[in-house]
Amino acid sequence: MLLPTSQTLESRKLGVILNNRNMTLSYDPPKLAFPEIASLATELTRRSPLQSLSDSIPLPEDCIVKPKVPLANLTSFRVGGPADWYAAPQNLDALNACFTWARQYELPITLLGAGSNLLVSDLGIPGLVVGTRRLRFSQFDVATGQVTVGAGEPLPRLAWHAAERGWQGFEWAVGIPGTVGGAVVMNAGAQGGCVADCLVNAHVLLPNGTTQILTPDELSYSYRSSLLQGKGWLVTQATFQLQPGFDPQVVTARTNDHLNHRRSSQPYHLPSCGSVFRNPGQQAAGWLIEQAGLKGYQIGGAQIAQRHANFILNCGDATATDIFQLIRHAQHMVADRWSLWLEPEVRILGDFQPI
Ligand SMILES: Cc1cc2nc3c(=O)[nH]c(=O)nc-3n(C[C@H](O)[C@H](O)[C@H](O)COP(=O)(O)OP(=O)(O)OC[C@H]3O[C@@H](n4cnc5c(N)ncnc54)[C@H](O)[C@@H]3O)c2cc1C
């Protein structure tokens, strides 16, 4: 992959906007008619490498691409290095502009929802990371019992909104701290429910800029798995079938019960990614890890949780490398004891040293 040097980027002034304080690379052909472009471009040629430009100009407003953005605060593990470039577009036009910009400079694109199922390398992620958390809306259609939501809508928020309306069918999702887009990709599920059971369709933006509407069958759903994993296709919105017309108090109480159950059985008090490994067949990965004697086992600041052995906790000062090594250690220990290799459910992004 050819990454653009500051020199090559500077020589392509198209789409580069700056002011005296901030600078960000933004793809915005319609705004090229702005009179300040010529002088800005002249100033740009005098500038040093892009990485040293610390400021940003939000232009165009909906597609702000920022350099060297730390990702630790954008993931639930609270670890990981920076994205070379990061953008959190607010609508489809801005999203398309980001994709076009990345294509123009041949940058790899990584998609980020709430970051609640990701382990990002301490070295960070090359290319452009597109965060979907600002792609938010929800429309409840009383006539059909369907709710259509933007990819960045948090699952717990959707669960509460459905419950408050007396719509049942999404109570299971209340304790899953991801976005709708991430949940569609991961086939997220809990307590007997999962995305595949209630998804009507998902709108997916392909890297070439076209949109497809895919049904659960077309998404090839299975346990915590879908066709979308590793594809780089971006879920922009999803429609779910729920059941309206129930007593809001009853649905809210049930939603509350789900949350309380999870809080009492899982360690929510420290940063994690939820379950690290997929359950192999009927066996619970947590039970296998516990039987291997690993509860409480620690590498650096990363620890296998006492309360639930399929959780790895960041006890405060963990690095992504600590967590990665603990994942590998658990895999080897379980393989030695049970002759099976646990597959991570967590998505591992960026470079890690092989162990
Ligand atoms: C405390 C805790 C408890 C959890 N409990 C559960 C649970 O009970 N059940 C469960 O299934 N999961 C659970 N998880 C894991 C996680 O919340 C889910 O996997 C969730 O669906 C991930 O959503 P996200 O938005 O955070 O996705 P991310 O973690 O940001 O991304 C996950 C994957 O999806 C891709 N992606 C994200 N958004 C999009 C998009 N819009 N379009 C295309 N690709 C996208 C990413 O590139 C990545 O490959 C838990 C996590 C935590 C921290």
Does the CB atom of residue 262 touch ligand 1 within 6 A?
no
Active site residue 224: yes
- Whether 95 has a pLDDT exceeding 50, the answer reads yes
329 Rama class: left (phi>0) / alpha (psi -120 to 50) / beta = alpha
Look at residues 111, 320, 92, 126 and name the one whose alpha carbon lies nearest to residue 209. Answer: 92
Residue 345 among the catalytic residues: yes
User: Does any ligand 1 atom lie closer than 6 A to the CB of residue 133?
Assistant: no
Q: Is 349 in the pocket of ligand 1 (CB under 6 A)?
A: no
Q: Measured between alpha carbons, how far is 29 from 330 in angstroms, rounded to an integer?
A: 50
Whether residue 347 has its Cβ less than 6 Å from ligand 1: yes
What are the structural domains of the chain? Answer: 6-131 (3.30.43.10), 138-264 (3.30.465.10), 267-349 (3.90.78.10)
Does 113 contact ligand 1 (Cβ within 6 A)? yes
- The answer to whether the CB of 309 falls within 8 A of the CB of 295 is yes
| Residue minimizing CA distance to atom 1 of ligand 1 | 274
Give the pLDDT score at 323: 98
Model confidence at 34, pLDDT cuts 50, 70, 90, reads very low
Tell me which of 224, 226, 272, 347 is the catalytic residue.
224
- The residue count of the chain comes to 355
Residue of the CA atom closest to atom 50 of ligand 1: 274
Ligand 1, atom nearest to 235 Cα: 42
Contacts 24+ apart (CB under 8 A), 18-21: 18/43, 18/44, 18/47, 18/53, 18/55, 18/57, 19/55, 19/57, 21/55
For 216-255, write each residue's pLDDT tens digit. Answer: 999 999 999 999 998 999 999 999 999 999 999 999 999 9
Among residues 157, 113, 167, 104, the alpha carbon closest in space to that of 135 is found at 113
Other residues' Cβ atoms within 10 Å of the Cβ of residue 326? 22
Using a pLDDT cut of 90, give the percent of the chain over it.
Answer: 74
Q: What is the C-alpha to C-alpha distance for residues 113 and 58, in angstroms, rounded to an integer?
A: 21
Q: What is the pLDDT of residue 47?
A: 33
Report which protein residue has its CA nearest ligand 1's atom 4. 274
Q: Is 114 in the pocket of ligand 1 (CB under 6 A)?
A: yes
Identify the band that residue 290 occupies on the pLDDT scale cut at 50, 70 and 90.
very high
Q: Which atom of ligand 1 is nearest to the CA of 118?
A: 29
Q: Tell me whether residue 74 is exposed, middle or buried, using C-beta atoms within 10 angstroms of its C-beta: 0 to 12, 13 to 18, 19 or more.
A: buried
Whole-angstrom distance, CA of residue 24 vs CA of residue 11: 15
Using a 6 Å cutoff on CB, does residue 274 contact ligand 1?
Answer: yes
How far, in Å, is the centroid of ligand 1 from the Cα of 306? 23
* Residue 230 Cα to ligand 1 middle (Å): 13
What CA–CA distance (Å, rounded) separates 282 from 323? 26
Instruction: Calculate Rg over the CA atoms of the chain.
Output: 22
pLDDT surpasses 60 at 41? no
Looking at the CA of residue 179, tell me the nearest atom of ligand 1. Answer: 25
Average pLDDT in the 103-124 region? 95
Strands laid side by side in the 312-314 sheet: 298-299, 302-304, 312-314
More confident residue, 6 or 103: 103
Average pLDDT over every residue of 97-103:
88
Active site residue 153: no
**341 against 63, higher pLDDT:** 341
Residue 32, pLDDT > 50, answer no
pLDDT of residue 62: 54
Q: Is the CB of 183 under 6 A from ligand 1?
A: yes
Identify the helix (H) or strand (E) that includes residue 65. Answer: strand 65-70
